[in-house]
Amino acid sequence: MKPIVSAIVVNYNSALLTQRAVSSILEDGALAGEVEVFVVDNTATNRERMKLRTVSRYGVTLILNDINAGFGQACNRAYEQSRGEYILLLNPDAYLLPGALPTLVRFLDSCRRAGAVGPRIYWDEAREFLLPPSLNMSPLVCVWDAIGRSSQLFVDFRSLLWRRYAVSVLRRSSPIQQKNLSGGHVLLRTKAIEASGGLFDPSFFLYYEDSDLFRRMRSNKFELYIQPRAGVVHHYNQCLPVDGGEKHWYMQESYQKYVEKYDPAGRIRRFAAFLERRLPKGVPSEIETLGIVTEPIVLAVPRALEAGWVFELSPNRNLVPAATQFGRGPTVKFTQDAWRLLLPGYYYGRLGGLNKFLTHKIWQWIVE
């Protein structure tokens, strides 16, 4: 019998997490017998492959790459063997919440113009933090970045605009159309993939392959959605954390490829460089520094915001993008679970009201 869904999980030194991701796909009885699962291993070590053998017990097809072929290439290998009407991509450090996959399938069944749909994304087990919607990637991003490097006032304004947008998306209870989605947890219509030139462009080793796919889908008149009634927990960046410099290098390399692909003549990049030279500087926002913090922080909420506040967390000073917590009461608190997800480095937190432009305070701290 032809499956309805073909699920793909790419493993890289994350066998235990991969097993949990696979279990979350197969444990939902609503699609029993109608899902095929592929696990593609990019680790290329015997030790990791021995750990992965357990997933074969569940009828999972295990594909072993001899080298780390990159995320996009690994997905493409599984996609070539897939038979499903829909393709589920799921990161190994993510897992579906009960009922998520059937909910996403029903949405694509009912919305024929949709090429892909993503779930509501929680960061932590307690589901106190939501991960943000995906940034719409365009060559124009280098214009915004150039302006940002020249004008701190613009950075602050853009950050508040992003918060306004993110809050409006995260508080939705019904499907909402998007310009981009995350390839780490998304259900794709196979016909939309084929009509858009295939799954992933193999020139992207890691990062931006999903932005490229969704841009191609939109160009072919397919719509993208978030269905907030489906949920996933994504312990972002927990797949055997590697050297941050290496990840940054891959991201920058893929970003350049993306921009070159959609701005081949370089006009947008030249305009961005011109703006960066000409625009005046601004004054950075005031930030309260907490220093090195070893225990979950507790932040005071002013009385005026106790009826409802928004707290954003990000490793980026401009808080774009940011994990978001909605709350009430006199304090912002981290659970131990959420705190353990913070890798060593600098973090920024911003507290504001549900009035989307109101900022009370920004903090900075270091996790070692």
Question: Which domains does the chain show, CATH number per domain?
Answer: 5-131+164-234 (3.90.550.10), 288-367 (2.60.40)
Structure tokens at 88: 């589920």
pTM (2 decimals)? 0.94
Q: Say which amino acid occupies 243.
A: D
Distance CA 335, CA 342 (A): 12
**Bigger pLDDT: 254 vs 282:** 254
Instruction: Round the average pLDDT of the chain to a whole number and report it.
Output: 92
Indicate the range of 90-104, 141-155, 166-180, 215-229 predicted with least confidence: 141-155
**CB of 23 within 8 A of CB of 105?**
no
Residue pair 282/318 in contact (Cβ under 8 Å)? The answer is no
Please report the pLDDT score of residue 241 as a whole number: 52
**Dist CA 49 CA 66 (whole Å):** 11
At 283 the pLDDT is 65
Read off the pLDDT of residues 35-93 as tens digits, 9 standing for 90 and up: 999 999 999 889 998 999 888 778 899 999 999 999 999 999 999 999 999 999 999 99
328-368 per-position pLDDT tens digit: 999 999 999 999 999 999 999 999 998 767 889 999 999 99
User: What pLDDT shows up at residue 74?
Assistant: 98
- Taking the C-alpha atoms of residue 101 and residue 96, their distance in angstroms, rounded to an integer, is 7
- For helices 141-150 and 267-278, give the axis angle rounded to 10 degrees: 10
Q: Is the per-residue pLDDT at 227 higher than 90?
A: yes
Residues 284-312 have pLDDT tens digits of 678 999 999 999 999 999 999 999 999 99
Q: How distant, in Å, are the alpha carbons of 12, 14, 346 from that of 238?
A: 11, 9, 17
Q: Which residue has the higher pLDDT, 110 or 356?
A: 110
